[in-house]
Structure 1
Amino acid sequence: MSGIRRFTTDYVAVEDRIRLSLERSDGTVRILWLTRPLLNKLAARLIERVDAAVSTDRPLTSGVRQRFVQQAAEASLKPQEPVRPGGSTRQAGVAMLVTSIGLRDGQGVLTVEFKGGDQVLEAAPFTGEALRQWLGVLYKCYCHGGWGGDFWPGWITPDRSLADMARMN
């Protein structure tokens, strides 16, 4: 399996799903479709991991620190052209529905395994900062799709005041 060079995550209204367009190191593009119920479970698990990584005995301090680290991670995300399948056969873009997701820890990296049945379709490694960046992108996709989710913490939502964050922690 070729490694992932970069990917684009976006909400597709006509499908009411999230599309991951993955550019692999060999230049091929693969499209993975993610449903809302599957993403709800994944996002909640990823948020739990990020929350657990910041330990503190004062909830307000934790929420403020989380918001700061989240904003810094999102600000460091460099804009680039989105990954899209092209016209050539090599770039045609195989599309598959993700039916389950596995998480694997190792050497400071969390690998998200996107599966179709029992088969791993793609495996995307995330550092702590990259995971935060992707959570920010997923949150924006949820907003764009009008999807709710009571699992989104105050530190990832853009319009929360410190007082709101203190009540949520």
Structure 2
Amino acid sequence: MVKLKKVTLQYIEIEDRIRMLADLDGEERAVFWLTQRLCRRLVPKLVHHLEHSAPDSHLVDKGLMLSVQQHDAGWQQKFSEPVRSTGLSRSVLPEKVDLFCPAGGAAIIFPLDDGGEPARLQMTMLELRQWMAVIYRQFQVAGWPMEVWPQWFALSEPGKN
């Protein structure tokens, strides 16, 4: 399976899609076009995983705890040089992705158009929260409907607490 080492996400208005540029194993780069339809199916599943990864507590509201964890993940995010579109070897418009959610993180499996091995974006829980925050911002930029996002996620944004 091809590993996605680093990704950069950006909403492209003319395409009405999120462009995910990715560094693959080796020196290859690829672009995955994430449609609103695909994202609106993927987000609830990842939100569900985040919600079920948080321990139950009698002392703290679960939504508040999730919001704080999400906010903390944003603070821990390290900004690095984005993936550049130069040297792209593949362009993929996935109709569906496979999702695996083990206890310590998540993996999204993207098909590659050449029929070869699929590409795997493996994330820890912290990385998943950070990736979800980027997707959330892209939804906002795109003006896509936000009902797939829970209230606790919106409260995790800086300035919303």
TM-score if structure 2 supplies the norm length?
0.86
2:152 matches 1:155: yes
For structure 1, list consecutive stretches of 5 or more residues without a partner in the other structure.
Answer: 162-169
Provide the alpha-carbon RMSD of the alignment.
2.3
2:123 matches 1:92: no
Distance 1:75 1:160 in 2: 14
2:139 matches 1:146: no
- Give CA-to-partner distance per residue, 1:62-95, whole Å, 9 cap, x none: 1111111001111111111211122xxxx23411
Would the alpha carbon gap of residues 10 and 154 (structure 1) be closer, same or farther in structure 2, given more than 3 Å must change? Answer: same
The one of 113, 121, 125 equivalent to 2:122 is 125
**Secondary structure of the structure 1 residue equivalent to 2:19:** strand
Corresponding residue for residue 165 of structure 1? none
Distance 2:49 2:25 in 1: 28
For structure 2, list consecutive stretches of 5 or more residues without a partner in the other structure.
Answer: none
Residue 47 of structure 1 deviates from its aligned partner by 0.2
Contact 1:2–1:26 (CA<8 Å) still a contact in 2? no
Residue 160 of structure 1 deviates from its aligned partner by 4.8
Would the alpha carbon gap of residues 58 and 116 (structure 1) be closer, same or farther in structure 2, given more than 3 Å must change? Answer: farther
Distance 1:119 1:93 in 2: 14
- Give CA-to-partner distance per residue, 1:15-57, whole Å, 9 cap, x none: 0001110012312110011110111010010001101111326
User: Structure 1: which 4+ aligned runs deviate by more than 4 Å?
Assistant: 57-60, 116-120
Distance 1:35 1:11 in 2: 10
